[in-house]
Amino acid sequence: MSVHLEEMLAACKPYTQQGQLPSYIPALKKGDPKHLGVCLLSCDGQLIQAGDCGVQFSIQSIVKPILLLQALLDNGVDAVRAHVGVEATGKPFDAINYTDQVLDSQHLNPMVNMGAIAVCSLIRGSSYQERFHRLLALTRLLAGEDARIQVNEDVYRSEKASGNKNRALAYLLKTYGIIQDDVEEVLDCYFHACAISTDCVGLARIGCVLANKGCQPGSQDPIIPPEYARFVNAILTTCGMYDGSGDFAVRVGVPAKSGVGGGIMAVVPSRMGIGIFSPALDAKGNSLAGTRLLELLSRELNLSIF
Protein backbone atom coordinates (compact mmCIF):
# COMPACT_ATOMS: atom_id res chain seq x y z
CA MET A 1 0.00 0.00 0.00
CA SER A 2 1.79 3.04 -1.25
CA VAL A 3 -0.14 6.21 -0.75
CA HIS A 4 0.76 9.72 0.37
CA LEU A 5 -1.68 9.86 3.28
CA GLU A 6 -0.24 13.05 4.79
CA GLU A 7 -0.64 14.98 1.55
CA MET A 8 -4.21 13.84 1.09
CA LEU A 9 -4.99 14.72 4.68
CA ALA A 10 -3.61 18.21 4.14
CA ALA A 11 -5.73 18.59 1.01
CA CYS A 12 -8.88 17.70 2.96
CA LYS A 13 -8.13 19.66 6.12
CA PRO A 14 -9.88 22.85 4.90
CA TYR A 15 -13.15 20.95 4.60
CA THR A 16 -13.22 20.44 8.37
CA GLN A 17 -14.21 24.09 8.61
CA GLN A 18 -17.27 23.68 6.40
CA GLY A 19 -19.08 21.08 8.49
CA GLN A 20 -21.01 21.38 11.73
CA LEU A 21 -20.88 19.45 15.00
CA PRO A 22 -24.25 17.81 15.64
CA SER A 23 -26.42 19.86 17.96
CA TYR A 24 -29.08 17.37 18.97
CA ILE A 25 -26.84 15.21 21.19
CA PRO A 26 -25.32 17.66 23.67
CA ALA A 27 -22.24 15.56 24.47
CA LEU A 28 -21.21 15.52 20.79
CA LYS A 29 -21.04 19.30 20.69
CA LYS A 30 -17.86 19.06 22.76
CA GLY A 31 -15.90 17.52 19.86
CA ASP A 32 -13.04 19.37 18.19
CA PRO A 33 -14.16 20.14 14.60
CA LYS A 34 -10.53 20.45 13.44
CA HIS A 35 -9.80 16.77 14.05
CA LEU A 36 -9.05 14.63 11.00
CA GLY A 37 -7.55 11.17 11.06
CA VAL A 38 -7.34 8.18 8.75
CA CYS A 39 -6.17 4.59 9.04
CA LEU A 40 -5.87 1.93 6.32
CA LEU A 41 -5.49 -1.75 7.18
CA SER A 42 -4.96 -4.17 4.31
CA CYS A 43 -6.22 -7.75 4.33
CA ASP A 44 -2.65 -8.98 4.58
CA GLY A 45 -2.20 -6.98 7.76
CA GLN A 46 -0.37 -3.82 6.69
CA LEU A 47 -1.48 -0.74 8.60
CA ILE A 48 -0.81 2.88 7.70
CA GLN A 49 -2.26 5.93 9.38
CA ALA A 50 -2.11 9.71 9.49
CA GLY A 51 -3.55 12.58 11.47
CA ASP A 52 -5.67 12.27 14.60
CA CYS A 53 -5.76 8.49 14.69
CA GLY A 54 -5.50 8.10 18.43
CA VAL A 55 -8.51 10.27 19.28
CA GLN A 56 -11.41 8.32 20.74
CA PHE A 57 -14.95 9.04 19.53
CA SER A 58 -18.34 7.35 19.83
CA ILE A 59 -19.15 5.15 16.88
CA GLN A 60 -22.84 6.04 16.86
CA SER A 61 -24.51 4.60 13.73
CA ILE A 62 -21.39 2.66 12.81
CA VAL A 63 -22.60 0.22 15.43
CA LYS A 64 -25.54 -0.61 13.14
CA PRO A 65 -23.61 -3.10 10.97
CA ILE A 66 -22.21 -4.67 14.15
CA LEU A 67 -25.71 -4.97 15.63
CA LEU A 68 -26.76 -6.59 12.38
CA LEU A 69 -23.80 -8.98 12.49
CA GLN A 70 -24.64 -10.01 16.05
CA ALA A 71 -28.27 -10.60 15.05
CA LEU A 72 -27.09 -12.67 12.06
CA LEU A 73 -24.75 -14.70 14.27
CA ASP A 74 -27.58 -15.31 16.74
CA ASN A 75 -30.42 -16.03 14.30
CA GLY A 76 -29.16 -16.61 10.77
CA VAL A 77 -30.08 -14.69 7.62
CA ASP A 78 -33.65 -15.92 7.22
CA ALA A 79 -34.79 -15.07 10.73
CA VAL A 80 -33.21 -11.62 10.57
CA ARG A 81 -34.81 -10.93 7.21
CA ALA A 82 -38.19 -11.96 8.58
CA HIS A 83 -37.89 -9.16 11.13
CA VAL A 84 -36.34 -6.32 9.15
CA GLY A 85 -36.30 -5.38 5.46
CA VAL A 86 -33.25 -4.55 3.37
CA GLU A 87 -34.58 -1.97 0.94
CA ALA A 88 -33.40 1.61 0.88
CA THR A 89 -36.01 3.80 2.49
CA GLY A 90 -35.05 6.91 0.56
CA LYS A 91 -35.25 8.71 3.86
CA PRO A 92 -33.00 10.36 6.47
CA PHE A 93 -31.52 8.44 9.38
CA ASP A 94 -34.28 9.14 11.88
CA ALA A 95 -37.18 8.83 9.48
CA ILE A 96 -40.49 7.37 10.47
CA ASN A 97 -40.49 4.61 7.91
CA TYR A 98 -44.10 4.53 6.98
CA THR A 99 -47.04 6.51 5.73
CA ASP A 100 -49.78 3.97 6.22
CA GLN A 101 -51.63 2.99 9.33
CA VAL A 102 -49.88 -0.31 9.83
CA LEU A 103 -46.12 -0.52 10.13
CA ASP A 104 -44.67 -3.34 8.06
CA SER A 105 -41.39 -4.76 9.32
CA GLN A 106 -40.21 -5.12 5.73
CA HIS A 107 -40.18 -1.32 5.47
CA LEU A 108 -37.56 -1.20 8.19
CA ASN A 109 -33.90 -1.09 7.30
CA PRO A 110 -31.21 -2.09 9.81
CA MET A 111 -29.07 0.92 8.78
CA VAL A 112 -31.83 3.39 9.74
CA ASN A 113 -32.58 4.06 13.43
CA MET A 114 -35.98 2.39 13.56
CA GLY A 115 -34.66 -0.82 12.01
CA ALA A 116 -31.54 -0.80 14.17
CA ILE A 117 -33.66 -0.54 17.32
CA ALA A 118 -35.67 -3.53 16.08
CA VAL A 119 -32.39 -5.41 15.52
CA CYS A 120 -31.43 -4.88 19.19
CA SER A 121 -34.38 -7.04 20.15
CA LEU A 122 -33.07 -9.87 17.95
CA ILE A 123 -29.80 -10.23 19.83
CA ARG A 124 -29.82 -13.12 22.26
CA GLY A 125 -29.47 -12.59 25.99
CA SER A 126 -31.43 -12.99 29.21
CA SER A 127 -31.39 -9.23 29.71
CA TYR A 128 -30.65 -6.18 27.61
CA GLN A 129 -27.49 -5.68 29.64
CA GLU A 130 -26.38 -9.14 28.53
CA ARG A 131 -27.33 -8.42 24.94
CA PHE A 132 -25.30 -5.24 25.04
CA HIS A 133 -22.30 -6.98 26.55
CA ARG A 134 -22.39 -9.63 23.83
CA LEU A 135 -22.46 -6.82 21.26
CA LEU A 136 -19.54 -5.09 22.97
CA ALA A 137 -17.61 -8.35 22.99
CA LEU A 138 -18.22 -8.78 19.26
CA THR A 139 -17.09 -5.21 18.62
CA ARG A 140 -13.86 -5.83 20.52
CA LEU A 141 -13.32 -9.14 18.71
CA LEU A 142 -13.81 -7.52 15.29
CA ALA A 143 -11.36 -4.80 16.26
CA GLY A 144 -8.63 -7.34 17.04
CA GLU A 145 -9.54 -8.12 20.65
CA ASP A 146 -9.20 -4.47 21.57
CA ALA A 147 -10.21 -4.33 25.23
CA ARG A 148 -9.86 -0.55 25.29
CA ILE A 149 -13.11 -0.31 23.38
CA GLN A 150 -15.81 0.70 25.81
CA VAL A 151 -18.77 2.94 26.39
CA ASN A 152 -18.34 6.69 26.72
CA GLU A 153 -20.64 7.18 29.70
CA ASP A 154 -21.02 10.91 29.10
CA VAL A 155 -22.22 10.32 25.53
CA TYR A 156 -24.49 7.48 26.67
CA ARG A 157 -26.19 9.69 29.26
CA SER A 158 -26.53 12.52 26.78
CA GLU A 159 -28.19 10.27 24.18
CA LYS A 160 -30.49 8.75 26.74
CA ALA A 161 -31.55 12.19 27.96
CA SER A 162 -32.13 13.63 24.51
CA GLY A 163 -33.32 10.55 22.65
CA ASN A 164 -37.02 11.39 22.34
CA LYS A 165 -37.22 10.77 18.61
CA ASN A 166 -35.77 7.31 19.17
CA ARG A 167 -38.32 6.76 21.94
CA ALA A 168 -41.08 7.68 19.50
CA LEU A 169 -39.67 5.23 16.94
CA ALA A 170 -39.39 2.47 19.53
CA TYR A 171 -42.96 2.97 20.75
CA LEU A 172 -44.15 2.68 17.16
CA LEU A 173 -42.25 -0.60 16.86
CA LYS A 174 -43.93 -1.76 20.04
CA THR A 175 -47.37 -0.60 18.84
CA TYR A 176 -47.11 -2.91 15.87
CA GLY A 177 -45.61 -5.81 17.79
CA ILE A 178 -42.24 -5.63 16.07
CA ILE A 179 -40.62 -5.35 19.48
CA GLN A 180 -42.28 -6.89 22.51
CA ASP A 181 -39.87 -5.94 25.26
CA ASP A 182 -39.86 -2.87 27.47
CA VAL A 183 -39.05 0.14 25.32
CA GLU A 184 -36.66 1.79 27.76
CA GLU A 185 -34.69 -1.47 28.13
CA VAL A 186 -34.36 -1.92 24.37
CA LEU A 187 -33.35 1.73 24.02
CA ASP A 188 -30.87 1.43 26.86
CA CYS A 189 -29.10 -1.26 24.85
CA TYR A 190 -29.29 0.93 21.74
CA PHE A 191 -28.02 4.07 23.49
CA HIS A 192 -25.15 2.07 25.02
CA ALA A 193 -24.34 0.67 21.59
CA CYS A 194 -24.20 4.10 19.99
CA ALA A 195 -21.90 5.34 22.75
CA ILE A 196 -19.25 2.67 22.19
CA SER A 197 -15.98 4.51 21.65
CA THR A 198 -12.99 3.65 19.53
CA ASP A 199 -10.56 5.38 17.18
CA CYS A 200 -9.70 5.27 13.46
CA VAL A 201 -7.59 2.18 13.94
CA GLY A 202 -10.49 0.36 15.54
CA LEU A 203 -12.79 1.23 12.65
CA ALA A 204 -10.17 0.15 10.11
CA ARG A 205 -9.83 -3.20 11.90
CA ILE A 206 -13.58 -3.83 11.96
CA GLY A 207 -13.91 -2.76 8.32
CA CYS A 208 -11.05 -5.04 7.34
CA VAL A 209 -12.77 -8.14 8.78
CA LEU A 210 -15.77 -7.27 6.59
CA ALA A 211 -13.41 -6.77 3.61
CA ASN A 212 -11.53 -9.96 4.31
CA LYS A 213 -14.47 -12.39 4.01
CA GLY A 214 -14.90 -12.42 7.77
CA CYS A 215 -11.28 -13.29 8.58
CA GLN A 216 -8.80 -11.46 10.79
CA PRO A 217 -6.37 -9.43 8.64
CA GLY A 218 -2.90 -10.87 8.71
CA SER A 219 -3.59 -14.10 10.59
CA GLN A 220 -6.58 -14.89 8.34
CA ASP A 221 -8.33 -16.51 11.32
CA PRO A 222 -12.04 -16.77 10.59
CA ILE A 223 -14.09 -14.49 12.86
CA ILE A 224 -17.48 -14.43 11.18
CA PRO A 225 -18.94 -16.49 8.32
CA PRO A 226 -18.10 -14.95 4.92
CA GLU A 227 -21.77 -14.85 3.90
CA TYR A 228 -22.56 -12.57 6.84
CA ALA A 229 -19.76 -10.21 5.85
CA ARG A 230 -21.12 -10.13 2.30
CA PHE A 231 -24.66 -9.53 3.56
CA VAL A 232 -23.53 -6.57 5.64
CA ASN A 233 -21.39 -5.13 2.85
CA ALA A 234 -24.35 -5.24 0.46
CA ILE A 235 -26.56 -3.31 2.89
CA LEU A 236 -23.78 -0.81 3.58
CA THR A 237 -23.57 -0.10 -0.14
CA THR A 238 -27.26 0.50 -0.67
CA CYS A 239 -28.03 2.20 2.67
CA GLY A 240 -24.89 2.85 4.74
CA MET A 241 -24.71 6.59 4.13
CA TYR A 242 -28.44 7.26 4.68
CA ASP A 243 -30.06 9.32 1.94
CA GLY A 244 -26.56 10.16 0.73
CA SER A 245 -25.85 6.49 -0.17
CA GLY A 246 -26.46 6.96 -3.89
CA ASP A 247 -24.14 9.93 -4.04
CA PHE A 248 -21.48 8.06 -2.05
CA ALA A 249 -21.76 5.07 -4.39
CA VAL A 250 -21.05 7.16 -7.48
CA ARG A 251 -18.35 9.30 -5.84
CA VAL A 252 -16.51 6.73 -3.69
CA GLY A 253 -17.93 3.36 -4.62
CA VAL A 254 -17.29 1.17 -1.56
CA PRO A 255 -19.47 -0.17 1.27
CA ALA A 256 -19.27 2.26 4.18
CA LYS A 257 -21.05 3.40 7.31
CA SER A 258 -20.95 6.81 8.88
CA GLY A 259 -21.86 7.94 12.38
CA VAL A 260 -22.75 11.35 13.76
CA GLY A 261 -19.76 11.01 16.07
CA GLY A 262 -17.68 11.84 12.99
CA GLY A 263 -16.47 8.38 12.12
CA ILE A 264 -16.67 6.55 8.81
CA MET A 265 -15.87 2.88 8.42
CA ALA A 266 -15.21 1.86 4.80
CA VAL A 267 -14.87 -1.66 3.44
CA VAL A 268 -12.89 -2.38 0.27
CA PRO A 269 -13.75 -6.03 -0.43
CA SER A 270 -10.68 -8.32 -0.62
CA ARG A 271 -8.38 -5.34 -0.14
CA MET A 272 -8.69 -3.29 3.05
CA GLY A 273 -10.66 -1.65 5.82
CA ILE A 274 -10.53 2.10 6.33
CA GLY A 275 -11.26 4.12 9.44
CA ILE A 276 -11.74 7.86 9.25
CA PHE A 277 -12.53 10.45 11.89
CA SER A 278 -13.55 14.06 11.43
CA PRO A 279 -16.46 15.26 13.55
CA ALA A 280 -17.75 18.20 11.48
CA LEU A 281 -20.75 16.86 9.54
CA ASP A 282 -22.52 17.69 6.29
CA ALA A 283 -26.27 18.32 6.08
CA LYS A 284 -27.05 14.60 5.88
CA GLY A 285 -25.11 13.77 9.02
CA ASN A 286 -22.01 12.32 7.34
CA SER A 287 -18.47 13.50 8.16
CA LEU A 288 -17.79 16.20 5.58
CA ALA A 289 -14.00 16.15 5.37
CA GLY A 290 -14.06 12.39 5.92
CA THR A 291 -16.23 11.83 2.86
CA ARG A 292 -13.92 14.05 0.80
CA LEU A 293 -10.90 12.13 2.00
CA LEU A 294 -12.53 8.83 1.03
CA GLU A 295 -13.28 10.27 -2.40
CA LEU A 296 -9.62 11.17 -2.87
CA LEU A 297 -8.45 7.78 -1.57
CA SER A 298 -10.86 5.99 -3.88
CA ARG A 299 -9.51 7.80 -6.92
CA GLU A 300 -5.87 7.49 -5.91
CA LEU A 301 -6.04 3.80 -4.98
CA ASN A 302 -8.76 2.87 -7.48
CA LEU A 303 -10.97 1.50 -4.71
CA SER A 304 -14.39 1.58 -6.37
CA ILE A 305 -16.04 -1.83 -6.61
CA PHE A 306 -17.94 -0.66 -9.69
Catalytically active residues, by annotation: 61, 64, 190, 242, 260
DSSP 123-156: S--SSHHHHHHHHHHHHHHHTTS-TT-EE-HHHH
Residue 276 in the binding site for its own copies (CB under 8 A): no
Total residues binding its own copies (CB under 8 A): 48
Residue 295 in the binding site for its own copies (CB under 8 A): no
Residue 88 in the binding site for its own copies (CB under 8 A): yes
Site for its own copies in 104-123 (CB under 8 A): 109
Write the CB contacts of 120 (distance below 8 Å, at least 6 apart in sequence).
Answer: 67, 128, 131, 186, 189, 190, 193
Least spacing, CB of residue 37 vs its own copies, in Å: 26
Choice from 57, 190, 231, 277 touching its own copies (CB under 8 A): 231
Please, are residues 196 and 139 in contact by the beta-carbon 8 Å criterion? Answer: yes
DSSP 175-231: HTTS--S-HHHHHHHHHHHHTEEE-HHHHHHHHHHHHTTTBPTTT--B-S-HHHHHH
Of 107, 129, 130, the residue nearest 184 (C-alpha): 129
Residue 228 in the binding site for its own copies (CB under 8 A): no
Choice from 60, 152, 237, 286 touching its own copies (CB under 8 A): 237
Least spacing, CB of residue 44 vs its own copies, in Å: 20
Residue 114, number of CB atoms within 10 A of its CB: 29
Choice from 33, 144, 217, 255 touching its own copies (CB under 8 A): 255
Residue 183 in the binding site for its own copies (CB under 8 A): yes
Residue 182 in the binding site for its own copies (CB under 8 A): no
Sketch the per residue contact string, 184 through 203, with its own copies: x for CB under 8 A, - otherwise.
--------------------
Residue 69 in the binding site for its own copies (CB under 8 A): no
Of 213, 260, 268, 228, the residue nearest 241 (C-alpha): 260
Residues in contact with its own copies by CB under 8 A are 85-92, 94-96, 99-101, 109, 164-165, 167-172, 174-175, 183, 229-231, 233-235, 237-239, 243-247, 249-250, 253, 255, 269, 304-306
